[in-house]
Amino acid sequence: MGAEDLRGRRALVTGGGSGIGRAIAVRLAAAGASVVVVDRDAASAERVAAEVGGTAVAADLSDPAAVEAIDVDVDVLVNNAGFQHVAPLHEFPPEVFATILRLMVETPFRLVRGALPHMYDRGWGRVVNVSSVHGHRASPYKSAYVTAKHALEGLSKVVALEGAAHGVTSNCVAPAYVRTPLVEGQIADQARTHGISEDQVVEQIMLAPAAVKRLMEPAEVADAVAWLCSPSAASVTGTSLRMDGGWTAH
Ligand SMILES: NC(=O)c1ccc[n+]([C@@H]2O[C@H](COP(=O)([O-])OP(=O)(O)OC[C@H]3O[C@@H](n4cnc5c(N)ncnc54)[C@H](O)[C@@H]3O)[C@@H](O)[C@H]2O)c1
């Protein structure tokens, strides 16, 4: 790793108050960036911003007006905020589907649309989209999430094509299960639903499709994001780095 130097760069991380977003904020700050932590949860945004010597912005990113009010004059944009809702398709609430699509597709579009002119002016920019193994594979009961992550993969590739001439790269990172509050909530839910222990949920359900039988840590994803911002990754664009323990090798 090591070669990235983000001193003098400004990075914006959505959903930076928790989990993967927090780890990315910490990692980019360690590489020298000044980090803007955007989160709906004002207290966690403030906490992480204080931890990394950055700035907090409290905003509900499923609200287009709130998104448009954010200062996107940044060099690095990390689209990370997201949530999961699990329900059979015929019972899936349409309003939850719409919110997931807004937060996880339309908002990244709006943020990148605003940030690109600034990146173009400086002839350098990095867009990193936190996708998922579900940007490449489907699972039952996750219709909105799978749809959103597939769409984000497509958006990221268009940004790569348009941005290349201006020194801007755009990539996805696509992890399988990462140990975060989002996943810990799912583990507890599934243990209740299936009447099994939390360890059994992890081993028998979550890790079943993966060859590497462990949950990832948020810092592993953050390292990949930092690498995508490094000079060594200048020709890496329009790709999706699958950090899925071999899930999609099947
Ligand atoms: N944890 C995993 O296993 C995993 C795997 C693959 C991809 N991902 C993706 O990683 C990203 C982060 O997930 P995580 O596991 O760190 O979750 P998390 O719940 O720990 O963190 C998500 C953060 O996003 C914020 N957020 C949610 N809705 C928001 C909104 N409307 N406006 C502003 N902020 C909002 C939350 O407040 C929270 O701080 C998501 O896009 C998720 O799909 C997670």
Distances (CA, A) of 128 to 5, 131, 154, 170, 240: 16, 9, 13, 6, 10
Instruction: Tell me the per-residue pLDDT of 209-243, one tens digit each, with 9 for 90 and over.
Output: 999 999 999 999 999 999 999 999 999 999 999 99
Do 96 and 31 lie in one domain? The reply is yes
Do 62 and 154 lie in one domain? The reply is yes
Q: Which residues lie across from 174 on neighbouring strands? A: 242
Ligand 1 mean position, distance from CA 120 (Å): 28
The predicted model gives 48-62 an average pLDDT of 98
Poorest-pLDDT segment among 36-40, 149-153, 193-197, 241-245? 193-197
Do 81 and 110 lie in one domain? The reply is yes
Q: Is the pLDDT of residue 141 over 70?
A: yes
Do 185 and 70 lie in one domain? The reply is no
103 lines ligand 1 (CB under 6 A): yes
The answer to whether 86 and 19 are in contact (CB under 8 A) is no
Q: Is residue 189 part of a domain?
A: yes
Residue-level pLDDT at 65: 98
109 lines ligand 1 (CB under 6 A): no
Ligand 1 mean position, distance from CA 51 (Å): 19
Poorest-pLDDT segment among 72-76, 98-102, 191-195? 191-195
Q: Is residue 120 part of a domain?
A: yes
With the most atoms of ligand 1 within 8 angstroms of its CB, the residue from 12, 13, 14, 20 to mutate is 20
207 lines ligand 1 (CB under 6 A): no
Do 204 and 155 lie in one domain? The reply is no
Ligand 1 mean position, distance from CA 130 (Å): 9
Which residue, judged by its Cα, is nearest atom 33 of ligand 1? Answer: 40
Beta-carbon contacts of residue 149 (< 8 Å; ≥ 6 apart):
104, 131, 132, 134, 135, 174
Q: Is residue 211 part of a domain?
A: yes
Do 122 and 98 lie in one domain? The reply is yes
Residue-level pLDDT at 34: 98
- 105: three-class secondary structure by DSSP: helix
Q: Is residue 250 part of a domain?
A: no
Residue-level pLDDT at 3: 65
Q: What is the pTM of this model?
A: 0.97
Question: pLDDT: is 3 or 50 the higher one?
Answer: 50
Do 188 and 108 lie in one domain? The reply is no
The predicted model gives 44-50 an average pLDDT of 98
Mean pLDDT over each residue of the chain, to the nearest integer: 97
Do 76 and 30 lie in one domain? The reply is yes
Q: Is residue 33 part of a domain?
A: yes
Q: Is residue 225 part of a domain?
A: yes
What's the number of domains the chain is made of?
Answer: 2
Residue-level pLDDT at 1: 45
Residue-range definition of the domain harbouring residue 191: 179-215
Do 136 and 52 lie in one domain? The reply is yes
State the CB neighbour count (10 A cutoff) for residue 102: 18
Q: Is residue 238 part of a domain?
A: no
Residue-level pLDDT at 4: 79
State the CB neighbour count (10 A cutoff) for residue 239: 18
Ligand 1 mean position, distance from CA 15 (Å): 6
Do 54 and 69 lie in one domain? The reply is yes
Q: Is residue 184 part of a domain?
A: yes
Do 131 and 198 lie in one domain? The reply is no
The predicted model gives 161-188 an average pLDDT of 96
The predicted model gives 22-49 an average pLDDT of 98
With the most atoms of ligand 1 within 8 angstroms of its CB, the residue from 12, 13, 18 to mutate is 18
Residue-level pLDDT at 118: 98
What's the residue count for the chain?
Answer: 250
Examine the residue annotation and report whether 141 is marked as an active-site residue of this protein: no
Give me the CATH number covering residue 142. Answer: 3.40.50.720
Tokens encoding 14: 């959505």
Q: Is the pLDDT of residue 248 over 80?
A: yes
State the CB neighbour count (10 A cutoff) for residue 192: 11
Starting at the edge strand found earlier in the chain, the sheet holding 10-14 runs: 55-58, 34-39, 10-14, 76-79, 125-130, 168-175, 240-243
The predicted model gives 135-157 an average pLDDT of 98
Q: Which helix (H) or strand (E) holds 242?
A: strand 240-243
CA 200 to chain centre: 27
The predicted model gives 180-187 an average pLDDT of 91
Do 225 and 146 lie in one domain? The reply is yes
Residue-level pLDDT at 159: 99
Which residue, judged by its Cα, is nearest atom 41 of ligand 1? Answer: 82
